[in-house]
Structure 1
């Protein structure tokens, strides 16, 4: 509601005039009668209203107010919504709704089509409010070129008892394509422009034939050439150390004392040696084990170990 500014009585002149008529033509007579309760006052006010509207001539059109009222046609008279809906409007606030790929929004448990909203995009969030002129209607906030807010009514989508849209295409009888958004319309125009075609079919044929967009007039690497030339950038190789490659180091297997014993015991005993004495020598000479390739070396050492020399006869 816009509050009237001081010094501008014409902004609410009709209200002031109506109050003046009630005060002078109706309330002035109340001093000559006794009113006992509010019901009696309302009865007197209603009777005076019917009398005044039926008999008093209006200076602007020369008719009584009832006569002027009867000239209004049914299609010209806009009736207000039910009282309950008006109370809902008073406490309801606009809410955001996301546009679906079908150019629909959900608001208040109902679905509405926003395909007629100029510039609407899939995934866009729209500000939606109840429509004061339709109990099941909704309005969407749009903006004109000057940024002024304009509320545009959007139609509700009706569904049949099986959950299908009432305006859906009938299979085998008709086909209804999805309306393109502004972004999709622009994309199609850009497609024709890039392929140098007048129609989408011609553009698709050129693309299928591997035609170069924009007739090859655009160099996608021109900015790189210009940048390198402007900065005088050259490639300077740096000195480095060659990485070693194709070289595999194989570590030889090291036999533990237990593994040495398993391999040497049969050979020493077969040669007639004292195995217990040989074990003590192995533990002393090879406490960490020995490489597998040196096993024969260890055997020869045991066979020729001075006073511990092993003889085939079994004596030392």
Structure 2
């Protein structure tokens, strides 16, 4: 074309026609483009983040739709309530399908292709949902719940109700599971026993506080089964002005204090 410069101008390179630039590509640099189906699976839209709700679902507005769609993730292994997932809309194939990506605790990335829930009524509820007042329908078991039931079936093969078996303290696995079997083959080192040195430890000092005299008098009165006499009160007050030691009080409970009146038998006519 006259008076038109069709050469490609790039900084640091000489002007060159685009076709001449393509002619410089060698056979080793050529790559075959994937088929249309593969490109459809690879071509996605902008990433978004969603949190799985209590029903194992997420909502997302696909570029091909005008409103929000519901996507069920209950069949995705490892995904549970409040799990954050990355969502990519598929642009070239499918009807409002998305790609869901999630990374588990081991750093492994899992990817699923999810279709929206299509069978909904005008109010947005699934057509197979239970009707109020007619029947009940529990949420489907999650992958974790299914794995738990499978473990219960293996642990208690002769019982239909694993919870009842635990309540009755039934031994799991038929008693054939040895939790310390990996320790049986351990060889302990052999060593010569050494006798310890005998030391003389002084007896600990009795640091118990004496019982205050008023409380001690009440204790003795209950132990003797009678009131404290004036002579006994005077004798105890003079001997133990700061209280009675617990050991001494225990001895006094067995015997009356000096000066106590003697108990004599009287004949009653």
- Structure number with bigger Rg: 1
Shorter-chain TM range is: 0.3 to 0.5
Question: What TM-score results when the alignment is normalised by the length of structure 1?
Answer: 0.37
In terms of fraction of residues, the more helix-rich structure is: 1
Instruction: Identify the structure with bigger relative contact order (alpha carbons < 8 Å, sequence gap 6+).
Output: 2
